[in-house]
Amino acid sequence: MSELLRRIEESEGRARALEERLADPDVMSKPGEFAEAGKELGRLRPLLDAGARYRKLIGDLDGARALLEEDDDDLRKEAREEIGRLEPELAQVERELRVLLVPRDPNDDRNAILEIRGGTGGEEASLFAADLFRMYTRYAERRRWKVELLSMSESSSGGLKEVVASISGDRVWSRLKHERGVHRVQRVPTTESQGRIHTSTVTVAVLPEAEDVDVQIDQKELRIDVMRAGGPGGQSVNTTDSAVRITHLPTGLVVQCQDEKSQLKNKAKAMKILRSRLLEAEQARAAAERAADRRSQVGTGERSERIRTYNFPQSRVTDHRAGLTLHKLPAILDGDLDELLDGVHVALAEIAEGRAAPRAEQDD
């Protein structure tokens, strides 16, 4: 039996145990326990459905391959056509299953705060930061997520020095959590007259969005400053004290928002960012304590590593952690991220579980 079929069977066994619990009168009399069992069973349903499709496809494929041994030419031709249809479908369901089998993160159902900042490369880095923000925004549109701009600083070339946005919807954190890190771009800038390829970097951070109950903030530990907004704006943006800067005194964290004309709205946005940064810092500290003897790929929030390269001359995107290369750069930058994200999720889960070795760093 394959490793994948074995894990499907384990999940089916878990589902049967949960169904028995839900039918137990003793459990039914305890609303909290009953609801939790029902919720876990509901999370297993997509995996069980995919597992059933996977088994059926394997059976259909075995049947079609058996027909290749027949003497009838027409039958063999039909079998080859059927195999050509079934094999890609089986590969797709297998990919779906591997993603569904990735262990759950406690934050998976949370919304997220996305922060993108230009790194090395000057104006070219800020232009690519704008490209990445559009990429994630397009991906959010495909998944029907809501994107709320919290803070943005533009460069003179029309790029983005920094942008912070809140993304809400179904399992946002689960899909975007591995995007944190340094994204590298290799391309010929529009200002380059001799056609030389330049390398620039952009830093991406993805924070689980914190609720009020997650992070308790003592107002006495905050210093709140108001000022006039700087940079381009509307008639009243630069003439009223609408910009808000909040400093969390115990940690030294500083958050500033100035995009809204309303001081209250800017303060609310700044508090949302501050809560999420404090939650990330606390979760990173806890993860470091649990895994002090090894680097945590998921929980530490490290942002200093080059995780991905976008090579324009070759229309190539390479994720260095997953050892995955896709030659579909325009589609990816237009928000077609599922194949890339699925590959990263599965690879990092296998590395974390010891079922695969970390990918060697590629020098490209």
DSSP summary character for residue 295: -
Q: Please say if the pLDDT value at position 296 is more than 70.
A: no
The SS3 assignment for 298 reads: coil
Same domain, 206 and 253: no
**Residue 148 scores a pLDDT above 80:** yes
CATH number of residue 67's parent domain:
1.20.58
Q: What is d(CA 256, CA 117) in angstroms, rounded to the nearest whole number?
A: 15
pTM of the model as a whole: 0.70
Position 341 scores a pLDDT of: 95
Please state the separation of Cα 315 from the chain's center in Å: 22
Percent of the chain with pLDDT over 70: 86
Residue 105 within any structural domain of the chain: no
pLDDT band for position 339 (cuts 50, 70, 90): very high
193 and 319 in a single domain? The answer is yes
Residues sharing a CB contact under 8 Å with residue 106, sequence separation 6 or more, in sequence order:
none
Among the ranges given (91-95, 298-302, 305-309), the one the predictor scored with the smallest mean pLDDT: 298-302
Considering the domain architecture, whether residues 146 and 258 belong to the same structural domain is answered as no
**Mean pLDDT, to the nearest integer, of 113-140?**
94
User: What pLDDT digit, counting tens, does each position of 165-185 carry?
Assistant: 999 999 899 999 999 999 999
Number of domains in the chain: 3
The pLDDT mean for the chain works out to: 85
Listed residue (247, 250, 246, 229) closest to 238, CA to CA: 229
256, β-bridge pairs: 245
What is the DSSP secondary structure assignment for residue 360, as one 8-state letter? P
Task: Identify the CA nearest to 27 among candidates 40, 16, 39, 36.
Answer: 36
Residue 43 shares a structural domain with residue 79: yes
Residue keyed to tokens 């490793």: 3
Say if residue 71 is in the same domain as residue 178: no
Instruction: Give a yes or no: residue 359 inside a domain.
Output: no
Q: Check which CATH number belongs to the domain holding 335 and give it.
A: 3.30.70.1660
- Stretch 83-108: mean pLDDT: 88
Please report the pLDDT score of residue 295 as a whole number: 38
The pLDDT assigned to 70 comes to 86
In the DSSP assignment, the letter for residue 187 is: E
Classify residue 362: in a domain, yes or no: no
CB 30 within 8 A of CB 123: no
CA 321 – CA 196 distance, rounded (Å): 28
Nearest to 332 by CA among 146, 168, 197, 179: 179
Q: How far apart, in whole angstroms, are the C-alpha atoms of residue 239 and residue 228?
A: 6
- Could you write out the three-class secondary structure of 125-175? HHHHHHHHHHHHHHHHHHCCCEEEEEEEEECCCCCEEEEEEEEECCCHHHH
User: How far is it, in rounded angstroms, from Cα 145 to Cα 138?
Assistant: 10
Query: Does 207 lie in the same domain as 328?
Result: yes
Q: Give the model's pLDDT for residue 160.
A: 94
One domain for residues 157 and 204: yes
Q: What is the pLDDT of residue 297?
A: 32
Domain end position, chosen among 274, 290, 306:
290
The conformation of residue 301, written as its DSSP 8-state character, comes to -
Give tens-digit pLDDT for 210-268: 765 567 788 888 888 888 766 544 444 445 678 888 888 888 888 888 877 788 888 88
What does the angle CA 11 – CA 300 – CA 351 come to, to the nearest 5 degrees? Answer: 45
Structural domain that includes position 192: 112-213+297-352
154 alpha-carbon distance from chain centroid: 24
Q: Residue 307: its pLDDT value, please?
A: 94
- Going by pLDDT thresholds of 50, 70 and 90, the confidence category of residue 60 is very high
Write the single-letter amino acid at 51: G
CATH number of domain containing 261: 3.30.160.20
Who's near 19: CB < 8 A, 6+ residues apart? 41
Q: Are residues 41 and 19 in the same domain?
A: yes
pLDDT, position 243 = 87
The Cα–Cα gap between 352 and 345 comes to: 11
Specify the pLDDT at position 362: 54
Assess contact for 255 and 243: CB atoms under 8 A. Answer: no
Residues 333 and 286 in one domain: no
Q: In this structure, what token pair is assigned to residue 208?
A: 């689980």
Number of residues in the chain: 364
Same domain? For 209 and 190 the reply is: yes
Is residue 17 in some structural domain?
yes
Q: Which residue type does 294 have?
A: R
* Domain boundary, last residue among 60, 77, 100: 100
Identify whether residues 23 and 158 lie together within a single domain: no
Of 100, 132, 150, the residue that ends a domain is 100
Pair (204, 251) in one structural domain = no
Instruction: Please tell me the predicted confidence (pLDDT) of residue 300.
Output: 34
